[in-house]
Amino acid sequence: MGKEEKEEEKKEHFFLNLLKKILGSKAGRNAILIIVVALGVFYCVCYFIPQKFMGVPNIFTSREGKVTVVSESQLKEALEINEFSTLEASYNSIAKIYGEDGKYYVAYEGTVRMGFDPEKLDYAIDDKGKKIKVILPEIEVQDVVVDQKSLDFIDVDEDETIIAKSYERCKQDLDSKVRRDQALKDIARENAENFICASLQPYEEKENFKIIIE
Amino acid sequence: MKKYKVSLAVMFVISILLCSCGKKESSKDAFERTGLQDVCSLAVLECKFNNVAKVTKEKGEGILHIGEKERKYWIEYTGIAKIGVELSKEPVSIDKDDHVTIKMTRAKIIGELDQKFDENSIIKSDDSFWNSNKITVQDQKKAISDAQQKMKKRIENNETLLANAEKRAKALLEKYVLKMGKIAGKDYTVEFEYVDE
């Protein structure tokens, strides 16, 4: 038992004894001094001497390669649409994406626009009561856009196609979450009704009509 | 005494793991609305652009970048923008002579610029075997952002496109006014007044 205890003590004090031996000898003290001085010189060279000294690059500093971007843009097609928007909302969210190597997470910011198709507005008139019934079509999600600059990744190797791979999935994620937000649709509908009231108010006043929105 | 310390340490680690499991679940479902804005806009044209962003990344300098080589990275994608007009909160006024005035802005880009990617439309040069000079996420974002800004400028300088959008918006709004006139049994004339945003 005594021997085992002594061996354990020896192991515990190994590094302490080693340090004592190094500091105890002249060669050891000189070696430590040289290491400390070399680290100090290295630090000074890295941080105080400029990137290029007398035209010669400083190899102890580190600088990423310069990035230049040249872009071209060509109109492909212009489609006719009818989208009257009454609400714009911005969101922060996190999408869980299943890739080839497993799942990963993407944090993003996005914007959604909601409104209706003005071509689908319908009117019914009651001449006797001088009432105009405006039938408002259903409020739709018209635009779902994710800010690609906001994409932030976790649990994934950020390869050179990561943005292209993840962007569309984030859009789908935002689209599905927004469609479940009934409160947003209600606000968009209320705004639509307010706009129609405001745009028809001159008719109400001039022609003495009453406008009802359904 | 030693076994007791070890079992205490194990129990401590297990309790930390159990706590952190719960936290991860709540952060996965984060969905937060950060802003809400009433808008009053009519989008009449959806424009699709073929955009190509070309990135050249030089090899880095310093001891950590020895062995790198210059990289080229091209990404081709579809940029999407909607063009239309914005209407004022009280967009319609009618005078005694049945002249209807609609207040709206000039044609402009409505909402945010969008993009559609195809990961097969990315072309990149080979990387060095000795030291990687990766096209980082920041580089990719910069390239796409640059291309989007260029697309935006193209639209803003395309007078034909903007004029067509304005003409279409006016036609739709006029149709709306004349429909109301028909209901009221009146023959309205429509004018447009341009307002700032």
Which of B35, B78, B179 shows the shortest C-beta gap to A123?
Answer: B179
What is the DSSP code string of B7-56? Answer: HHHHHHHHHHHHHHHHHHHHHHT-EEEEEEEEEEEEEEEEEEEEEEEEEE
Confidence bin at A101 (pLDDT 50/70/90):
confident
Distance of CA B181 to the CA centre of its chain: 39
E strand residue ranges, A136-209: 140-146, 152-154
If you average pLDDT over every residue of chain B, what do you get? 85
The listed range with the strongest mean pLDDT (A44-53, A60-69, B4-13) is: A60-69
- Minimal Cα–Cα distance from B10 to chain A, Å? 22
What's the pLDDT band for B24 if we cut at 50, 70, 90? very low
Residue A149: its chain B contacts at CB < 8 A?
141, 145
* A58-92 residue pLDDT tens: 666 678 889 999 999 999 999 999 999 999 999 99
Suggest the residue from B140, B148, B170, B182 to mutate for an interface test with chain A (most A CBs closer than 10 A).
B140
Residue B88: pLDDT band by 50, 70, 90 thresholds? confident
The verdict on B163 touching A (C-beta cutoff 8 Å) is no
Name the residue among A164, A147, A162 with its Cα closest to residue A109. Answer: A147
Distance from CA of A102 to the nearest CA of B (A): 16
Mean pLDDT along residues A126-144:
86
pLDDT digits over A178-190, tens only?
Answer: 999 899 999 999 9
Of the candidate ranges A21-30, A139-148, B4-13, B131-140, the one whose mean pLDDT is the lowest: B4-13
Q: Which residue of A has its CA nearest to B58?
A: A65
- Is B65 touching A (CB cutoff 8 A)? yes
Q: Give residue A1's pLDDT.
A: 53
Interval A5-13 mean pLDDT? 70
Chain A hits for B56, CB-CB cut-off 8 Å, are 67-68, 70
Residue B8 has pLDDT above 70, yes or no: no
Higher per-residue pLDDT: A131 or B175: B175
pLDDT range class, residue A103, cuts 50, 70, 90: confident
Mean pLDDT value across residues A197-203: 80
pLDDT at position A11 is 67
Query: Which residue in chain A is spatially nearest to B45 when comparing CA positions?
Result: A80
Per-residue DSSP letter, B65: G
Q: Kindly tell me if the per-residue pLDDT of B25 is higher than 70.
A: no
Decide which of B120 and B195 is more confident.
Answer: B195
pTM for the predicted model, two decimal places: 0.76
> Which distant-in-sequence residues (6+ apart) come within 8 Å of A114 by Cβ?
A85, A86, A87, A88, A89, A139, A140, A141, A142, A184, A185, A188
